[in-house]
Amino acid sequence: MAGTDEEAVTTVDEEAVATVDDDALYVLTAVLLTPAKFPSVLGDDYPEACATLGLAPLAEGYGLVLGQDGEGARWTVVIDDVSLVAVAIASWDCGMEHELSPDERTVVAALPGWPLEVAVAAPGIPAPHDPSTDPTERPPLTPPDTTTWGPAQRRLGADEIALQWATWRDQIDDGEFASTDGAEQSGDDEMQTEATGDAEGDPAGRDKLGDGEERTAVRRVLAEARSYVDAPPPLGRVRSSFATGDARTLRADGPGWSLVARTDDIAFVLLDDEPGEVLPVGRGPELPGLLEALDKMAVRPS
């Protein structure tokens, strides 16, 4: 069994059974919902992700357990025992069996539906479907629409770049970070950018420098990211995680944009206004200091 942020691709642990309103829940997968690690498809920051599920943004966070009841209905059980879910996910990611059966006392809410795509189903029961709900109740959770470009797809694209950093980085020739007249760019006024690839997994993409509008948009993104240093944004909007060596993987999001970077390397920017495009940002003289400052104030996994 493996737990992932956005798309849960798992095998079913038939012994992992929780309870929802006195009915058995066959656990399919689980994800963390904490300031440092949450399904980014749900929002640009931790409070927004919690609001998508109708939850208060508690500092300690939550664990989300996704499964089916005995009739096959989809349920998301929210628990406050974050460590229980974290241990289960770590075990599954290592290919180990681990039973996840939350104590009823840890259950915060049982929400109909799933907020994320789940690629498997429990055996021996009806196929996954939304449970019947009263018209006055909250409708079942559904995964955000990622079939067309928008905030959810943009954040998923940024997730993919972070996971496949080496693949994306190999497509970039640092010598290509130059202006259209061949002069090398430097400083904040001439941000080093080029358009490459798409956020659906094709790093090759189009082979040309970004146009003036793209450069302006990237400068705007970096300016907004820099503003986070002086005026901290909502919790989880800037996150730092392990990379190779002493480097960190830095993730920042904002209205209409996502940024992924390595603190010792370049950055990639994705924009709502540039469907499918990935805009690399050369290291230059400005980026290292910005990444260092963001990393110092970023939320980190405990």
55-86 per-position pLDDT tens digit: 999 999 999 999 999 999 999 999 999 999 99
Could you tell me the sign of the dihedral formed by the alpha carbons of 42, 275, 237, 242, in that order?
positive
Q: Answer with the one of 98, 118, 138 that is the final residue of a domain.
A: 118
Residues 110 and 170 in one domain: no
pLDDT at 279: 95
Residues 156 and 109 in one domain: no
Residues 27 and 87 in one domain: yes
pLDDT at 98: 86
Residues 99 and 180 in one domain: no
pTM: 0.82
Decide if 136 is inside a domain. Answer: no
Residues 158 and 265 in one domain: yes
Residues 52 and 161 in one domain: no
Residues 258 and 179 in one domain: yes
pLDDT at 18: 55
Q: In angstroms, rounded to a whole number, what is the distance separating the alpha carbons of residues 39 and 73? A: 22
Residues 88 and 226 in one domain: no
Higher pLDDT, 198 or 63: 63
Q: Answer with the one of 118, 143, 165 that is the final residue of a domain.
A: 118
pLDDT at 116: 93
pLDDT digits (tens, 9 = 90+) for 160-194: 999 999 999 999 987 766 433 334 444 444 455 55
pLDDT at 16: 53
Residues 112 and 210 in one domain: no
Q: In angstroms, rounded to a whole number, what is the distance separating the alpha carbons of residues 285 and 291? A: 11
Decide if 196 is inside a domain. Answer: yes
Local structure of 99: helix, strand or coil: coil
pLDDT digits (tens, 9 = 90+) for 95-153: 888 888 888 899 999 999 999 999 999 999 999 999 988 887 889 999 988 889 999 99
Does position 197 have pLDDT exceeding 60, yes or no? no
Alpha carbon distances (Å) from 151 to 41, 51, 74, 99, 157: 8, 16, 25, 34, 10
Residues 108 and 201 in one domain: no
* Contact partners, residue 167, CB within 8 Å, separation at least 6: 203
Residues 157 and 68 in one domain: no
User: Vertex 91, ends 77 and 2: CA angle to 5°?
Assistant: 65
For residue 180, the tally of other CB atoms under 10 A from its CB is: 12
Q: In angstroms, rounded to a whole number, what is the distance separating the alpha carbons of residues 100 and 31? A: 12
Decide if 168 is inside a domain. Answer: yes
Query: Which residue range forms the structural domain that includes residue 90?
Result: 7-118
Does position 15 have pLDDT exceeding 90, yes or no? no
The number of folded domains in the chain is 2
Strand pairing category for 257-262 and 267-271: antiparallel
Decide if 1 is inside a domain. Answer: no
pLDDT digits (tens, 9 = 90+) for 226-273: 999 999 999 999 999 999 889 999 999 999 999 999 999 999 999 999
User: Minimal CA–CA distance to 28: which of 7, 12, 9?
Assistant: 12
pLDDT digits (tens, 9 = 90+) for 199-214: 554 443 333 335 688 8
Q: In angstroms, rounded to a whole number, what is the distance separating the alpha carbons of residues 277 and 271? A: 8
Residues 84 and 170 in one domain: no
